[in-house]
Every structure is written in structure tokens, then in C-alpha cells.
Amino acid sequence: MAPRTHYMEVMNLTRRILLPMLLVAALPVSAAEKLSLNALSRYLNDMTTAKGAFTQINDDGTIATGTIFIKRPGRIRFEYDPPEPVLVMAGGGQVAIFDTKSNQPPEQYPLKRTPLNLILQRNVNLATADMVVGHRFDGTATSVIAQDPEHPDYGTISLVFSGPPVELRQWVITGADGTKTTVILGDMQPNAQLAASLFSIPTEVQKRVR
């Protein structure tokens, strides 16, 4: 075999072997991966304030939209768009549900009795024994199902995160009676300047006194 012919055959063989390998190496690699409980806890603990749009899907299939305000620890506010006549807020260890068309006192109950308290605590630690009862990755997002380890009867909260970088996308609260409420978050504005009065139940009550 002539030297040049042999050389060309070797080069062609090399191309057939290396080119597919190079093409595979050049393909974009998904940045998504299963996020650890420690990483998710750090993300929640680093969230001091946030504001953004939300969509809520109720157990009966009805849908509502609005604006959510978060000020950790312990404070959250859901302002629903019309015609939904409801304002829900948490502050001072209580959750209050206001009928925006009424001047009657709000329905109230302790925040600690709702699974939402798990992500509003001052120090979130999802690695706490018996808190997380589900931790999955579907190839795109990481989901965590958490409960109060001392009171699993309060229900669960299923959190869905994208990333890295970590970002909370939605949650589903399953109440003690089995009803489910899904909250899908839009683009959230972190470190928003939020007045303390947004989360003051007494202030909101006083505004409605006629």
C-alpha cells in the first residue's frame, strides 16, 4: 500500500472515531440537578423579603391570581385580584383571612398549625428528622414534601424548586382534611422593600373599622 494511501485511510478512520465524540462533547449539558436538602434550606434562609405575582389553584379547580409578599421570618401576605374578595396574611404568629367586602373581624388561626410555617421559620432545616417525607428530581425540578415532624396531622407542603441557581417555583399545601391548594409563583423580586404594616393584622383590622 502506498504511504499516501495508508495515511489517508488512517485519517479517515480517525475522523470517523473522533468526530462523533467531539459532537457529543459539544452538546449543551443541562444545569439541572437534584438539589440537596441543605442547599434548599440555605436558599430559604437567605430569602429575607420577596414580592411577585402568583396563581392559586384551589381544591375545587377554581383559579385566582394576585400578588404575594414574603418577609421572613413568619410573615406573608396574599393580595387577590378582583373579583376575589379575600386578603390572607400572616404576622405575629397568626394567619388572618379577611373578607374585603366586609368590616367583620377576620378568621384567625395560629400560623404554626399550617404547613406554610415550615418555610417561614427563622431557621429552616429541611434535614430535621422526619420533616421531609419526599425528595425527588424529575430531570427538571426538585420537589420536597415536608411536614411538621411533631404534628404531621397539620398536613404537608410540597415545594418545587428549579436550579441551580435555586429558585422556588410553586408549592402545594395539603390540609388535614386532604384538600389541596396549589400556589404557582411568577418572577419574584428578591430583597423588596416591604413595610411592616403589610403584615400587621391589627393594622389591617383598624383600616376596616367603619
| Distance from C-alpha of 74 to C-alpha of 90, rounded to nearest angstrom | 7
Query: What's the CATH number of domain 37-207, 3.40.50.1580, 2.50.20.10, 2.60.40.180, 3.30.379.10?
Result: 2.50.20.10
Domain ranges of the chain: 37-207
* Residue 47 grid cell: 430569602
CA distances to 26, 55, 57, 167, 169 from 163, rounded to whole Å, are 22, 21, 24, 6, 10
Per-residue pLDDT of the chain (210 residues; tens, 9 = 90+): 444 443 344 344 344 434 333 333 343 434 578 999 999 999 999 999 999 999 999 999 999 999 999 999 999 999 999 999 999 999 999 999 999 888 889 999 999 999 999 999 999 999 999 999 999 999 999 999 999 999 999 999 999 999 999 999 999 999 999 999 999 999 999 999 999 999 999 999 988 776
| Distance from C-alpha of 183 to C-alpha of 175, rounded to nearest angstrom | 14
Its pTM surpasses 0.75? yes
What's the confidence (pLDDT) of residue 31? 58
Give the single-character DSSP code of 104.
S
